Structure 1
């Protein structure tokens, strides 16, 4: 069970969540988007949101500024969160602009707001769960897409509900977070996506 819970935290690391949201959007959207555009955007997002942060992590680890990929202390989180804000701004300005794919644009605006909130909490020496922030934001985005496109994804939403609970259990089991850090992390991810619905839903 210990290995399973560790695997859940690793497999559903916050780094991959934005890309999962984009992939899900492209598989469910009734809008016509050429395969070449989809591939170009996915490759660009993969490089910016996954490859770049991983390279940054190894740099920080080499410099002794990070002990693990989970960034266990508030001090370890400051620089990666700042860089993540910059990365999301690049995505919004170069890859997923508002006049191209408005749903994904506001999905990433929500991610930016959540990241800034996590950064603010870090400066307040509070370590909100970024795992919960990311999965909660994705959960709300899925709900919004089901309403926006009038599609039945109840099975997916049920899996997301179970997965959210599994991630919370994993983080508690690994003693990575307290219950309040998980709850705050959830709402930091969920609320921005909910508020932004009025701009695109």
Structure 2
């Protein structure tokens, strides 16, 4: 989802950003946000730290969420610094806050929906971008609304989460993005 937010930003931003920089950022983010987590999952599975990709227990979630926080910190420090693209910097600060909140909830034995955290955080970022750049992306926002509802419905259908866990996931994803909006809007 963070990579989707970055791709959307580059496709809608009226700022001039050289194509070489865009590709460098996208490739770096793809490596750190897609390939590295997959490799870390297989490492954790091999070491017996996780049983499945579903991370069904709160105890299983602690190490992957900690590693995710570290990866996001690397992205913030090395790829999306505030002096370059401030909107994406604060988007990833929001992702870090959401990940840390989810980690804290896992320590308290509460399993918030990571799917809902991700999709609702990106949805809020899209809304903020439409306001910031004064662009009409109503179709995209409608599609994101449908996607968010579909994700919630699917999580309930497979009995992966309760309503409470889904609603908590939505708030954990949206609130950090809302809190950080004044820093870049």
Instruction: Give me the TM-score of the superposition, normalised by structure 2.
Output: 0.99
Shift of 1:65: 1.8
Q: Identify the residue that residue 101 of structure 1 maps to in structure 2.
A: 85
Shift of 1:72: 1.4
Q: 1:87 aligns with which of 71, 93, 104?
A: 71
The question of 1:125 aligning with 2:113 is answered no
Shift of 1:95: 0.2
Q: 1:167 aligns with which of 151, 165, 177?
A: 151
The question of 1:54 aligning with 2:38 is answered yes
Q: Identify the residue that residue 167 of structure 2 maps to in structure 1.
A: 183
Highest RCO, 1 vs 2 (Cα 8 Å, sep ≥ 6): 1
- Stretches of structure 1 that go unaligned for 5 or more consecutive residues are 1-16
Q: 1:77 aligns with which of 53, 57, 61?
A: 61
Q: Write the distance in 2 (CA, Å) between the matches of 1:27 and 1:99.
A: 20
The question of 1:39 aligning with 2:23 is answered yes
Q: Secondary structure at the match of 1:196?
A: helix
Q: 2:10 aligns with which of 18, 26, 32?
A: 26
- Stretches of structure 2 that go unaligned for 5 or more consecutive residues are none
Q: Identify the residue that residue 140 of structure 1 maps to in structure 2.
A: 124
Name segments (4+ residues, structure 1) moved above 6 Å.
none
For these two proteins, the number of residue pairs brought into alignment is: 185
Q: Secondary structure at the match of 2:91?
A: helix
